[in-house]
Amino acid sequence: MKIPYRKYHTCVYIYGSLSSKRPVVIILHGGPGGNTAIYRPLTDLVKYGYTVVLYDQLGCGKSSSIRDHEELYTMATYVDELDHLLKYLKIKNYYLIGHSWGGMLALSYIHQYQPMGLKKLVLFSSLYSTKAWNESNLERCLSLLKGEDKKYWLSCYKNQSFSSQKARRIFKEKLLPHYKNKTNTSPYPYRKYPHYDGKFIYRKMWGSNDMFGFGTLLNWDESKTLKQIKVPTLILCGRYDQSRLSMNQKMQRAIKGSQLVYLTKSAHCGYFNEYPKVMKTLVAFFG
């Protein structure tokens, strides 16, 4: 369905019934600028009696284009859109699953609204600070590179630019193989929508390289507000993930009572790489 948002619309996908007595599971997709296409495995939570809601964030997937409105490429826009969606659909009790950028969105939303309807939180391959993410991945990259490649990569980091042909070669040949896992244990093919306008949002807000955020989100940081999270929280990350274990361990220590599950065979989309384990973990956590 399409719901109005400001003078635009948000495209929403609902699996199950919103009249269910159980809390609704809301999935916040990655990006910024991503879409819902690659989250099909998580909709299988409907088989366990949960209603699942996904939506293409503004400017993403099949929601309205905002290509010519860069003033909307902000965290504030997406926090407000999420709040509007909850009110429009009259969702009173819910669980949030924030994957990657979706976890950033969830943390900012919780910080701003302290929502009473939120019952449980899942932070999946996500982060609490862009600079912490950058530093974590720089450490990993430098451990994998040698000689001139190592020196050049560090200079790219200091200059906040990885757009050169040499940087792209180093990333593709020397680094990317260590962050990938094409194994798919889910019943669904790994599919993406075309990026449409999402690529403009991604480049503006995040940057040109997945491992380093040098866009407008560079100074995004919720590290000091993690202790304010009072709902049961589950944190997941993968062995080959840009969201590294050490960073997630810090997040787990900061969120009182949270639990961390390390997916030893997964990259950034563990719900494909280790679908059975992820589904079992989520169902056990939601109860």
The string of DSSP codes covering 261-278 is EEETT--S-HHHHTHHHH
Q: What pLDDT does residue 192 have?
A: 75
Q: What pLDDT does residue 191 have?
A: 83
For the stretch 106-124, pLDDT in tens is 999 999 999 999 999 999 9
Q: Is the pTM of this model over 0.95?
A: yes
Cα torsion 270, 271, 277, 282: sign: positive
Average pLDDT over residues 127-146: 97
Higher pLDDT, 166 or 197: 166
Average pLDDT over residues 52-81: 96
Which of 13, 50, 5 shows the shortest CA–CA distance to 35? 13
Average pLDDT over residues 122-151: 97
Least confident of 84-88, 206-210, 258-262: 206-210
Q: What pLDDT does residue 195 have?
A: 64
CB neighbour class for 128 (10 Å; exposed up to 12, middle 13-18, buried from 19): buried
Q: Where are the alpha helices (DSSP H) in 38-90?
A: 75-88
Report how far residue 105's alpha carbon sits from residue 75's, in angstroms, rounded to the nearest whole number.
7
Residues in the chain: 287
